[in-house]
Amino acid sequence: MQDGIHDTPRAVLIASLSHSGSTLLDLLLGSNSRMCSLGEVHESFRGMGSEPPNPCTCGQHVDSCVVWGHMRELWRADPGISYREFHAALIDRVHECLGPGTIPIDSSKHLLSFRALEDGGLDGVRVLFLMKDVRSLAESMGRWKFDWHERYKRNMLYNVLRWFFANRKLLRFVREANLPVMHIGYEELCFRPALLLRTACEFLGVEFQESMLTPEAAHSHMLEGNRMRFNPDKRGGITYDPRWFFSKRIVLGSWMLLPFLEWNRRHVYSNLYRYLSEAWRDRPRESAATQGLPAGAEIGDS
């Protein structure tokens, strides 16, 4: 996380791989009254010329939505509009409808969507870089059912290498673009949501609100994203799938993971590691005399 950032950004971009929890993070942030979830804006832009399969998460048909209805009219008037121009107009529309202090959240996440915003579209934005534990992602993808020609996507080595190289490539772009970035681990978010969301709010310059712990409270206008955005059970709280803890696939393939576990720890558990390190450093220490220990000893020394 970068220090010395207190003003609010023009927009928040979530960067991550697919199936890493970007929709959940989008909804949690959107549960803050100062922010608005927009889902995967890049996919929504690509689908402007067709009828969306789902309504907006505000409950309205896309043409009746105060945000996306206007954007559809804009696209129909100029189908050749660039994504960068469309994205800027969408941010302006959110400010017009929900107030100039509202922060739009875009969970497009992929490198392609970031590159499409170069040459001005990234000005004033901040990035939340979300990463899932490589073991969880590899186990999850190994359970997916793919067509015969895509079955290689279930292969553990393929998913471990894809996790490392795709995340590294995306992170390199964010750093080279000199964008303010905060790392968030999906596991951290699920295990300690209040801690992570408070830290994210500090990074974004807004006050933390308890409503952020319940994604069903999100102020959202999402056309694209994970199906959980329409599932009231999944939006009622934060849950974590722990099946990789007991997976034979992970045990048998552990040799593949060894070169990447330190990188995994640094990027997936950085906030939790920092928090625990500070808590241990600042823990109260009792004097040796009160415990009958040798002079110079402290409780906790070993």
Q: Which two tokens stand for residue 91?
A: 């941010």
The CATH class of the 11-283 domain is alpha beta
Q: What pLDDT band is residue 302 in, cutting at 50, 70 and 90?
A: very low
Q: What pLDDT band is residue 3 in, cutting at 50, 70 and 90?
A: very low
Give the DSSP letter string of 190-243. Answer: HHSHHHHHHHHHHHHT----GGGG-GGG--B--SSS-GGGG-HHHHTS-----G
What is the pLDDT averaged over residues 285-301?
52
Higher-pLDDT residue of 116 and 47 is 116
Question: Looking at the predicted structure, is the pLDDT value of residue 22 above 70?
Answer: yes
Q: What is the pLDDT of residue 298?
A: 47
Any idea which of 52-56, 150-154, 165-169 has the lowest mean pLDDT? 150-154
Q: What is the pLDDT of residue 57?
A: 87
- 117-131 pLDDT, tens digit each: 998 889 999 999 999
Any idea which of 4-8, 81-85, 177-181, 278-282 has the lowest mean pLDDT? 4-8
Any idea which of 5-19, 90-104, 257-271 has the lowest mean pLDDT? 5-19
User: Hey, where are the domains in the chain?
Assistant: 11-283
Determine the residue type at 70. Answer: H
Any idea which of 163-167, 201-205, 215-219 has the lowest mean pLDDT? 215-219
Higher-pLDDT residue of 192 and 283 is 192
Question: Looking at the predicted structure, is the pLDDT value of residue 157 above 80?
Answer: yes
73: how many CB neighbours lie within 10 A of its CB? 10
Cα angle, residue 297 at apex, residues 295 and 300 outer, rounded to 5°:
160
Q: What is the pLDDT of residue 2?
A: 46
Q: Which of 124, 127, 49 is nearest to 92 (CA)?
A: 124
- 242-261 pLDDT, tens digit each: 999 998 888 888 899 999 99
Which helix or strand (DSSP H or E) is residue 175 part of? helix 156-176
Q: Which of 205, 232, 222, 221 is nearest to 101 (CA)?
A: 205
Distance between CA 87 and CA 71 in Å, rounded?
Answer: 10
